[in-house]
Amino acid sequence: MEQSESRTSKRRVWRAYGVAFAVLVLGFVGGFAAWRIGAPARWAELDREWALVVAGAHPLCPDDPGVETELVRLLERAEELGMTDWGERLEGSGRVDYHDLGPLPADLLDVLERIEVELDAGRVRTDFPGGEHGSYRLIPSIRLLANLETSDGARIGRLLRCARRFQREGSLLAFLLGESCTRDLLDRIEGDPNLLQVLIAIDPPRPEELYAAMLRDGVLVTTRADPELGGAHWGRPSAELDGAARSVRRQVVAEAQRYRALAASPARFRSVETQAKPGAVARFFADLFPGSASSQGFDPSMGYYGTAFAESIERWQRLVEGG
């Protein structure tokens, strides 16, 4: 009798497990079906948000590795001639009198002036790679050119327009390059009142440019997530992307949404950011400003960039108004 009841009890337990498993499977199937049914609507919403990102990232420059071939060669030659060491003499020194620089070797001076020709002609991508450290390699050449005894308003204007192009057209890394070069050039202009007219003739930086650079950076990230698509990736519907590429696109959209309302107020970026995450941009920033307190164990974030850019805009305006 007891054995019969035990078998009956076991059957009931297994039946309960079976029912529970069936319910679980049905729930999973139903949930998956509901997710699939709702996916087109979610993808359509993602496409609408993505269109705002691409529009805000304009202009998206084509990738043309051959553009800066000659510039890379010239930079390599300038580095062989000691350009980096000369440039470091001016780093972090604030306002610099070009007489403090001293005469450059004739060979290096010749190469620097040829680099200036390449920059002025626009034969450089705004996301200039140029090997290790990429765009960072341009900074010593621009810093030296700005502080030569022969550097007049025309040269400073050419260099400043190049720096502003990096801010308006490049990724976040290129934006930081342009920002660093702009600060160096403002140092030079502030030290010579005769150069103040250069600022008046050039479009000043606008607060929205940092947000646009962030969007361009996001678009480039999605392109790298599926490199075979290249530029075609920008216009592809979300439904046609694989799961990884769609996920990256969704992350970019989420970041864009967080900062969108503050696009014209970069100094307030810190109010919406979460925790700064380490990455290539942070390492690039530390390379640009190795002597700054911010680079010692601190990972810069959009809030940090926003504050620094707002200060740079104010300085530009202050120089123009004072001139």
Secondary structure element (H or E) that encloses residue 196, with its range: helix 196-200
Residues 297, 170: Cα–Cα separation, whole Å: 27
pTM of the model: 0.75
Tokens at residue 164, please?
Answer: 């502003």
CA distances from 274 to 23, 27, 50, 177, 303 (A): 40, 35, 22, 25, 10
Can you give the pLDDT at residue 11?
53
Determine contact, residues 152/192, Cβ cutoff 8 Å.
no
Tokens at residue 248, please?
Answer: 């990256």
Can you give the pLDDT at residue 225?
53
Can you give the pLDDT at residue 297?
36
Closest listed residue to residue 314, CA positions, set 277, 267, 251: 267
Can you give the pLDDT at residue 59?
79
CA distances from 106 to 84, 103, 112, 163, 205 (A): 16, 8, 10, 26, 35
Can you give the pLDDT at residue 29?
45
Can you give the pLDDT at residue 99?
53
Helix axes 153-169, 208-225, angle to 10 degrees: 50
Determine contact, residues 105/131, Cβ cutoff 8 Å.
no
Residues 40, 60: Cα–Cα separation, whole Å: 28
Residue 291 is classified by DSSP as: T
What residue type is assigned to position 227 of the chain? P
Question: Would you give per-residue pLDDT tens digits along the chain (323 residues)?
Answer: 545 555 555 555 455 445 444 445 444 444 444 345 456 777 889 999 999 998 998 877 655 666 677 888 899 999 999 998 888 777 655 444 555 677 889 999 999 999 999 888 877 766 665 444 456 788 889 989 988 888 899 999 999 999 999 899 888 888 888 998 999 899 889 888 889 999 999 999 999 999 999 998 888 777 665 555 545 567 788 888 877 888 888 989 999 999 999 999 999 998 887 654 545 555 555 555 554 444 333 346 889 999 999 999 999 999 998 86
Q: 């007489």: which residue's tokens?
A: 99
Determine contact, residues 214/120, Cβ cutoff 8 Å.
no
Q: What are phi and psi of 149, to 5 degrees?
A: -65, -25
Can you give the pLDDT at residue 35?
41
